Structure 1
């Protein structure tokens, strides 16, 4: 009888082992299988949260089929203690294994709320926006000028949250002085700036930052990016340009940047300046004259006077018949590329056309007609 009992027990043990093996195999397969999520979501992991709470949230949002299986899988992979606070974009059909990696990998949040400090030509503005995971686009929640307005509740509510991302967006055409002054006013950053970087040497782009980042280090990153952009554009420049060095190309790019805000016009404006340089003509560009007055420290805020257009300064392109001695702003990639690969035209004149763009001309007669139309537009606007 004992032999019979032992035989049955052994059989049951073998069956149990097979069942356990099958369960483990099923669990491994399910853990790595495509998930049920139909559309990507933004998962927020609170500071001090745990895997139990996160797995329940994922279950409620339909991202996983079993919170218990996620917890077991993370425990088996020794990931339970690696949970990181933040907001994370979970793509549709993500596996539990993928999700476990997303919430334990660390690094910057990939969705949720973002505060953007924008350094513009005329002001510094703060923008609060939130990513809509369904469309992968940001929705503006608040925008204000910190120099003139009180910070709204939408900004104060998220400024100190652990999962809020921070970004500094530098507009094309700002001066190095404006960038430094803007960085000084962003309390998120730390450290002093010993000197204003050379004009034109900073890349006007978007930079992700975090609390405590050093201002000097951020300026160094901007300079490194601009060096890289300029080197690439110089390597790909067209033949026969009247610029003899990357430094001269940067000066020309800054003039193009300040003359037009219309992306499609940059290469046309570049062609006018290139044609004038080839002909030995004066560039006659107002932004350069303005820079000679302000030296990039703020906005002139008024029209140019006749005396200023006649004054003999290194930046008065109505007097000098060459490029200015330095850039007059920090040009973006598009203007640098336009300076080194302009359109092939015969244009040597342009004037505003009333739409935000310019009217281009080959002859002085054509240009005078364009100027007359612009004066009429100005008069009509003044009357209105």
Structure 2
């Protein structure tokens, strides 16, 4: 009887060991998923609901087995909501850790510096993973940047984050305005920054371009910024041709060739650096600038100097066959 009892104990121990090993192996072994798969966990979903979804998607073999192992071998941290990318062959342990980590799929919409609101609208409407309709955002209300979003998120919510980012940026930068700045309100700062943004893409030039326009405003001179001619025609989109003489002479609320002072509103969504530039332009006597043919600009203090620089620019354009 003793031998029989010992044999039963040994057999029982072996069976338990085999079961325990299989239980542990099933937790850490590669899973059945053949390809990386996007899994959406809705807000408020329990681990049980998530397990059923994972089984349906083929990420795990059995929801019940997954839950049993998770209760004993997994962390007690709650799972997060969102869209997750489950790698091919992910183990039960790795899947639970992923859902608990909150490392959802990062999808981005990028608004480049100087993009007009009509193009921001087109970009958002073209993103098929977003939902809902939106009007064209107010010009100058969007801070250019890259914004993350989730599948199924409302476009209005994304726009709200973009606009809040601009409000926060202005609130941060406005107190840093220096004596060299001529803008009187945050709204004027955005208007002038949008012009600076459209006039130069070179970071080192922004504060100098801002200085030119600031000096012109102080002297009650016309700003004569070409992008302000284009805005009423295309709402900020590229014109695709040379500006006509009639457009230069057109009288409207934006054309700074036919008015003194700032336009009535922004002509684009300026980036942080351009806003900083108009709030703290360099101290200089420059009143003019023209392209240098190399992607930058040549600055001048007098009209005589400027005309000489323009002549050089025209010569470069003639050599290129542009005139």
TM-score by length of 2: 0.72
Indicate yes or no: 2:237 matched with 1:227. Answer: no
- Structure 1 counterpart of 2:59: 49
1:362 paired to 2:293: no
Residue of structure 2 in register with 1:32 after alignment: none
In structure 1, the residue corresponding to 2:107 is in which secondary structure?
strand
- Deviation for aligned residue 1:310: 1.4
Normalised by the length of structure 1, the TM-score is: 0.61
From 124, 143, 147, give the equivalent of 1:203.
143
Q: How many positions carry a matched residue from both structures?
A: 268
Picking from 286, 290, 307, the partner of 1:351 is: 290
Aligned to 2:255: 316
Contact 1:74 1:80 in 2 (8 A): no
Alignment counterpart, residue 187 of structure 1, candidates 111, 128, 141: 128
Unmatched runs of 5 consecutive residues or more in structure 2: 1-35, 39-56, 62-68, 88-92
Please give the per-residue CA displacement for 1:74-99, whole angstroms capped at 9, x wherever unaligned: 9445459959984599xxxxxxx999
User: How far is 1:354 from its partner?
Assistant: 0.8
CA distance in 2, matches of 1:235, 1:99: 48
Aligned counterpart in structure 2 of residue 272 of structure 1, from 200, 208, 212? 212
Q: What secondary structure, in the 3-state scheme, does the structure 2 residue paired with 1:370 have?
A: helix
TM-superposed CA distance for 1:183, in Å, is: 1.3
Structure 2 match to 1:282: 222
The question of whether the paired residues in 1 share the 8 Å contact of 2:180 and 2:281 is answered with no
Partner in structure 2 of residue 302 of structure 1: 241
Pairing 1:85-100 to 2, within 5 Å after superposition: 86=84
1:150-189 to structure 2, matched below 5 A, reads 165-189=106-130
Give the unaligned 5+ runs of structure 1. Answer: 1-43, 52-71, 90-96, 110-164
RMSD: 3.6
Distance 1:107 1:358, change over 3 A: same
Corresponding residue number in structure 2 for 1:330: 269
Output the CA distance in 2 between the equivalents of 1:190 and 1:241.
41
State the alpha-carbon separation in 2 of the partners of residues 265 and 307 from structure 1: 30
What does residue range 27-38 of structure 1 map to in structure 2 within 5 Å? Answer: none
Task: Determine the C-alpha separation between the residues in 1 that align with 2:117 and 2:258.
Answer: 25
Contact 1:173 1:257 (8 Å CA) reproduced: yes
Higher strand share: 1
Aligned residue in 1 for 2:201: 261
CA distance in 1, matches of 2:94, 2:178: 47
Q: CA 1:86 to 1:274, structure 2 compared with 1: closer, same or farther past 3 Å?
A: same
Q: Which has the higher contact order (CA 8 A, sep 6+)?
A: 2
- Alpha-carbon offset, residue 292 of structure 1: 2.3
Deviation at 1:363, TM superposition (A): 1.3
